[in-house]
Copies of this chain bind each other. A is one copy, B any other.
Amino acid sequence: MAEPRRPRAATELKRARLLDATEEVMLEEGYAAVTSRSVAARAGINAPLVHYYFPTIDDLFVAVLRRRGEQGVRRMEQALASPEPLRAWWEAASDPRGTALLVELMAAANHREALRAEVGEFARQVRAMQMERLSTLLEEYGLDVREFPPALIAAAVHGLAFGIVQDAAAGYDTATDEAADGMARLVARLEERRRSRAT
């Protein structure tokens, strides 16, 4: 009785290598440089074989996005559940590689429907987790919910981290060190306050 074919180990490995290669091309040359040829060369396989694993280039982008997105969700879950949630959140949001990929995926998603939908799913999921957590957390940090609604705080943390990391990576030198220092101290003060408020 013939069993349904299972992909061989080598197959999954090659798929992963293709995703890695795609991320590298995106980071080094931008999403527009992702072609079956460029990705294949970097993964050490033949160009037409890319289409065997990912029929279209869009499929490849979506696969990259899913893998990253799921990582991001897991990481944010852990951060929000950690002993110092705000600090962990800030660190997770400040990941340079994730931010650089986000720039590319964001730009690409603005003009590719399949990607746009997928980015939206992850963005909503992460934001919902953050706001849910903030609903009890804000008080612990001694912040007034009416003055600082969860949606505002979440957007601020995200936007601040994104801007600082992107400017730093590009070398725009817009006082990113000062801003990062200022945020680190603000986070430290808030964590301190929460600690001293806990029974």
Q: Which residues of A contact B (CB under 8 A)?
A: 28-33, 100, 103-104, 106-111, 116, 119-120, 123-124, 127, 131, 147-152, 154-156, 158-164, 166-167, 169-176, 178-179, 181-183, 186, 189
Contact of A163 among B28, B100, B147, B158 (CB under 8 A): B158
Partner of A182 from the list B31, B152, B175 (CB cut-off 8 Å) is B152
| In contact, A182 and B110 (Cβ under 8 angstroms) | no
With A106-B103, A106-B166: A151-B124 Cβ-Cβ less than 8 Å:
no
CB A62 to nearest CB in B, in angstroms, measures 16
B residues within 8 A CB of A171?
Answer: 116, 120
How many copies the complex holds: the figure is: 2
Main secondary structure on A side of the interface with B: helix
Q: Which residues of B contact A110 (CB under 8 A)?
A: 30, 100, 103-104, 169-170
A114 to B166, CA, bound (A): 18
- Is the Cβ of A173 less than 8 Å from the Cβ of B31? no
Residues of B within 8 A of A160 (CB): 152, 155-156, 159-160
With A123-B167, A152-B186, A163-B159 in contact, is A104–B106 under 8 Å at CB? no
Using Cβ atoms and an 8 Å threshold, which residues of chain B touch A159? 156, 158-164
Determine the distance from Cα of A147 to Cα of B183 in the docked complex, in whole angstroms: 9
